[in-house]
Structure 1
């Protein structure tokens, strides 16, 4: 019995020792578990917080650039051009080219709605007294608004300024004068000079006007040949300016509008400074090579 009791005591001691070891082992394991759980919890919280912020940023769109609106320009005022050989009345043609009012020659164009021209010539033969020569050319150029190049008005202003500048720089021109004109489109200028040629002394008049997105250039020259007296430059200038107003008005009429000869539209730059550059980009390559330049007009005889 005593041994049994002793065995029981030892067994109990062994059991208590085992339980104590297990308790200690469990006690030692608890902090590790807690630490792991705590780390896991912090990590999850961090991920959740980070994910929440990312979601909010994405949802709020603060990190996403908004789509920029497509650039727009003002629509061009005029959509077509009048028939170039019909922009001047029969009376006007008779005054400017007395012997050639019916000799209108239409210029070639790959797009009549964008560029057009017509020319006339007159030779009034006075026998032994000589002859009076006149040459007239009207060209029209229309610009379409474009997001890259700018509005039609801006492009037309740039081309208008270039036409005036070109008219002043003709080789051999003498006594060049530039006069701003009022009451003709949005802006207009007259350039006049003398040009000595083997046939005689030519009095050249180049008048240019812009009406909204269309530029009208009128070249007119006269000379007394074979002993005939030289025509008066002032008379030629007045006739050219009158014809220019008529041509400008025809642009408006062709588009169903009223008389544009006295348009009050504000020019892009002052008409008194026709060579000023517009802030817009230069006109398209095809447009700038169309209308007859002043140089070619001066070279006619």
Structure 2
């Protein structure tokens, strides 16, 4: 091969190598451009995905907010009808007191931390007939009013529960004999009279307890009598009639005090007095009263 031929072959080879380098350089530049474009696309795609997620979350949040139920309404309870109590020592007329406790000078008002929910008054009568003995009478009227309370219930329901409790207590007095009970018609919403005999060292007592409920107020009337120092024991029927007549008068006084029963508003907190039971005077007072007077 001549020198000229070898030179032309070398030039062609060099030219081919240069072309290959240029092609590789162009390919590398395209690859670099493509590689640079990828992050931009990824960033754009990421932003689009992020925006889409935010929109989805916002949509979900909006859906949940609109679908969530409103706050539950506050619990309510039926309002108590009676909002006050009458003056306990004035619930009976002068004529009634003369029939029940003829020798009583005045009533003794019971203590109470809230007179609008708890009140009581008692009377004692001793008709001394000298050597023939004495006739003793004792009368007590207790009134308890219940407020409606969202946690405990309506005043009517609370009064009804207490009414049942009072009847149970009247029928379970220690030492009581010949216990009888009967409904009393025409008195409030419900009323029951309980009678029994009670033997004490002072004599034989006839006890009458009448429990009545009118709306959210419970009236408990205790009435007893005894013949002392040789006097004859009073008639249980007579005492029963007087007690039933008296409790009707007391219930009427409660309604009158409240103008016939104007509805009041429920109270969130029951009165301390209303949540407590009055003292059980019926079972203990006959003996104490008689011993104090005889």
After TM superposition, the score normalised by the length of structure 1 is: 0.80
**CA distance in 1: counterparts of 2:224 and 2:20, whole angstroms:** 135
Q: Equivalent residue for 1:202?
A: 205
Does the aligned pair in 2 maintain the 1:190–1:205 contact within 8 Å?
A: yes
The one of 267, 272, 284 equivalent to 1:296 is 284
Runs of 4+ in structure 1 off by over 4 angstroms are 5-13, 24-27, 30-35
**CA distance in 2: counterparts of 1:245 and 1:132, whole angstroms:** 25
Correspondence 1:60 to 2:66: yes
Q: Equivalent residue for 2:193?
A: 190
**CA distance in 2: counterparts of 1:138 and 1:215, whole angstroms:** 11
Correspondence 1:249 to 2:252: yes
Deviations, residues 57-81 of structure 1 (Å, cap 9, x unaligned): 343243xx63221111111111111
**CA distance in 1: counterparts of 2:275 and 2:176, whole angstroms:** 23
Matched residue SS, 1:23: helix
Matched residue SS, 2:195: strand
Matched residue SS, 1:78: coil
**CA distance in 2: counterparts of 1:30 and 1:289, whole angstroms:** 87
What RMSD, in angstroms, separates the aligned Cα atoms of the two structures?
3.0
Correspondence 1:74 to 2:64: no
1:86–1:47 distance in 2 versus 1, CA, 3 Å: same
Deviations, residues 162-201 of structure 1 (Å, cap 9, x unaligned): 1111111111100111212221001111111000011111
**CA distance in 2: counterparts of 1:103 and 1:59, whole angstroms:** 70
Quote the offset at 1:299 in angstroms. Answer: 4.1
Quote the offset at 1:52 in angstroms. Answer: 3.5
Deviations, residues 186-241 of structure 1 (Å, cap 9, x unaligned): 11111110000111110000001111111111100011111111111011001000
Does the aligned pair in 2 maintain the 1:137–1:297 contact within 8 Å?
A: no
**CA distance in 2: counterparts of 1:298 and 1:95, whole angstroms:** 18
* Equivalent residue runs for 1:135-284 within 5 Å: 135-257=138-260
* Equivalent residue runs for 1:26-65 within 5 Å: 26=33, 29=35, 36=42, 40=46, 43-44=49-50, 47-48=53-54, 50-62=56-68
Q: Equivalent residue for 1:99?
A: 103
Correspondence 1:83 to 2:90: no
Matched residue SS, 1:287: coil
1:178–1:236 distance in 2 versus 1, CA, 3 Å: same
1:162–1:299 distance in 2 versus 1, CA, 3 Å: farther
Quote the offset at 1:55 in angstroms. Answer: 2.2
**CA distance in 2: counterparts of 1:57 and 1:150, whole angstroms:** 39
**CA distance in 1: counterparts of 2:75 and 2:31, whole angstroms:** 77
| Greater Cα shift, 225-234 or 286-295 | 286-295
Quote the offset at 1:24 in angstroms. Answer: 4.6
**CA distance in 1: counterparts of 2:65 and 2:138, whole angstroms:** 72
Q: Which runs of 5+ in 2 are unaligned?
A: 1-6, 262-269
Matched residue SS, 1:40: helix
Quote the offset at 1:26 in angstroms. Answer: 4.6
1:75–1:299 distance in 2 versus 1, CA, 3 Å: farther
1:297–1:210 distance in 2 versus 1, CA, 3 Å: farther
